[in-house]
A and B are shown apart, each in its own frame.
Chain A
Amino acid sequence: MSVDILVASGITKRFDGFAALTDVDFILRKGERIGLIGPNGSGKSTLVNCLTGILTPDSGSITFDGDDITATAAWVRAKHGLARTYQIPRPFRGMSVQQNIEVPLRFAVGHTSARTIGDAARVILDQVGLAGKAGLSPKALTQVELRKLELGRALAAQPKVLIADEVMAGLSDSEVDDILALLTRLNAEGISIMLIEHIMRAVMIFSQRIVVIVAGCKIADGLPDDVMQRDEVERAYLGE
């Protein structure tokens, strides 16, 4: 089953009795682009946190590239190629923009030479459109630039799987297209990508498959056009 790179089965997560996720199954295949959608508070971020090791699910199991990683520490998952961005940007505020990128280059990729790290960081900054901001503090960045920094830091880890959690929020149409082009190019290079996004235009263009989560349960999983026409998806988004 080497075509499946990230598999979650029966993931359940409760917070003080509130069921954030109930028995969610989920598969990401090698080289695939999928969209994960759902209303606010439906459990998308909780699922991402379980997948990346920030949270431990109450039950269920997760395998990544053939290995069971259900109990693996977050940093080990990152090192093995499971990268993510944060919906609310979490920059290293005491470092410059470039030094932010250098952290995963050093720890995830394992570069040790300052020159290699610096060169690689500049390539990444150029990719995400922050080349002119390398020496700045993240405090000087706009919200949009902080999202680009999140994406850059995730890319710097040279991931096999990239989970992009609302990297496009607040971006202009043309910027959304830029990020989509970048993600598509990365996907063509072999990175499997899971896009979590509220901008439906982007999700519909990008995704080969769409997974819908509502109130902690997966209610649909399939081709974008099929999924969006289903009654239960329409109800979740537009009401009765």
Chain B
Amino acid sequence: MSAQTAYEPRKSTLVPARLRSGAAIALVGTILVAATMLFGSGVSEYYYLAAYSILQFIVLGTAWNILGGYGGYVNFGTAGFFAAGCYTTIVLNKLFQLPLLVDMSAAAAIAGLMGFGTGYLTLRLRGVFFSIATLAMAIVLQTVVINWSFVGGGRGVYVVRPEISGLFASYAHLLVTLMIALATCAVLAAWAVEKSWIGIGLAAIRDNETAAETSAVPSLRLKLIAATMSGALMGMAGAPFPYYVSYVDPATAFSLAIAVNSIAMPLVGGTATWWGPVVGAILLGSVQQILTVTISSAANLFIVGVLLVVFLTAAPRGVVGVVRAWKRGRP
């Protein structure tokens, strides 16, 4: 009997509870989008810039976690996918002046394709070798961009923001609203993966890929799905960035801070669930914003490093692990 009762909490993955989490994500996202659109016009620009940065990292951390957290393949090249999204927008902006949503779709396609390629790397490279390959890929891509004068080369490029419609008070207002919607979609996607057969298969792959294959888990297919989704979401996170900063150079788009944050945030929050990266991004993102204002922007990565070390030693399963242990400890 004790085994049965121990299993009961897992039964909450049955249909109703399952949909409840997803519905909650969608609801919170919708409310936030609506609230920003209705009441957001009077908010100071600074808060939008801060919110944008945190939202961007919710998307990046969540995207990273689909392959890295669920599947155990640690991608060090997040900045490469992010920059692919940035430069897709820059190229399209120079050529056609298309709506941002079109830029984002194109960025998703290109970065998704890159993700698919990364998925094939997992055939031969595991563990640290896979991580090094992803890092190398980002560096190769950065070198290509530095030598591509059409997108400004190493000097960078200015991007002219398009006109905004009457719905939004400023372009920052539009971008934040858009990022809330994107973050909601990203978290919904991660949640759907986690709760589906894909998530269960990825968890088996993370624990033991050979045993997973022997249990009939189609590991390559699942890794390709995860890597493609992960890459596409990272690219979408990068697509609005040129309009957010107005000036992009390779050093910014391929910044190490992007790769480090995208790994640190899920690790601090917890990699096992969809809400871990969200908590981690809000926590680390807010701390970084506060420190940038109160101390200096140079303290940014320093504090990420310190928090990462603290969490990896004191709470290796992140905030999720702490909360779960606390729940289990209760009578």
Contacts and interface: CB of A to CB of B under 8 A. Distances in A.
Nearest to A94: B207
Interface in A133-175: 133-136, 153-154, 156-157
Interface stretch (B56-64, B124-132, B216-224): B216-224
A107 B197 contact: yes
A98 B7 contact: yes
A53 interface: yes
Which of B3, B212, B219 has most chain A Cβ within 10 Å? B3
Nearest to A134: B3
A91 B214 contact: no
Contacts of A157: 215-216
Interface in A83-122: 83-84, 86, 90-96, 98-99, 102-104, 106-108, 112, 114-115, 118
Interface stretch (A38-46, A70-78, A214-222): A70-78
B208 A91 contact: yes
A55 to B, nearest CB: 11
A207 interface: no
Interface stretch (B10-18, B249-257, B261-269): B10-18
Contact of B217 (A84, A107, A134): A107
Given A90-B208, A95-B203, A108 B215 contact: yes
B211 A90 contact: yes
A164 B220 CA distance: 26
A78 B213 contact: yes
Given A95-B203, A131-B3, A134-B7, A75 B211 contact: no
Contacts of A107: 197, 201, 215-218
Nearest to A150: B211
A56 interface: no
A103 B204 CA distance: 8
A135 B6 contact: yes
Contacts of B220: 73
B44 interface: no
Given A75-B217, A99-B10, A135 B210 contact: no
Contacts of B6: 96, 134-136
Interface residues of A, number: 42
A53 B219 CA distance: 13
A150 B206 CA distance: 18
Nearest to B209: A90
A104 B206 contact: no
B141 interface: no
B13 A75 contact: no
B296 to A, nearest CB: 40
Contacts of B197: 106-107, 112
B2 interface: yes
A61 interface: no
Contact of A133 (B3, B11, B13, B210): B3
B159 to A, nearest CB: 43
A14 to B, nearest CB: 20
A83 B213 CA distance: 11
Nearest to B201: A107
Contacts of B211: 86, 90-92, 153
B213 A132 contact: no
A90 B208 CA distance: 7
Nearest to B208: A90
A89 B208 CA distance: 10
Nearest to B220: A73
A115 B220 CA distance: 28
A95 B202 CA distance: 12
Nearest to A133: B3
B10 A103 contact: no
Closest 10 CB pairs of A and B: A135-B6, A108-B216, A92-B207, A90-B211, A134-B3, A78-B216, A74-B213, A104-B215, A107-B216, A79-B216
Interface of A: 52-54, 73-76, 78-79, 83-84, 86, 90-96, 98-99, 102-104, 106-108, 112, 114-115, 118, 125, 131-136, 153-154, 156-157
Interface of B: 2-7, 10-11, 13-14, 197, 200-201, 203-204, 206-208, 210-220, 272
10 contacts: A75-B214, A75-B216, A83-B214, A93-B208, A96-B7, A102-B200, A114-B11, A134-B7, A136-B6, A154-B214
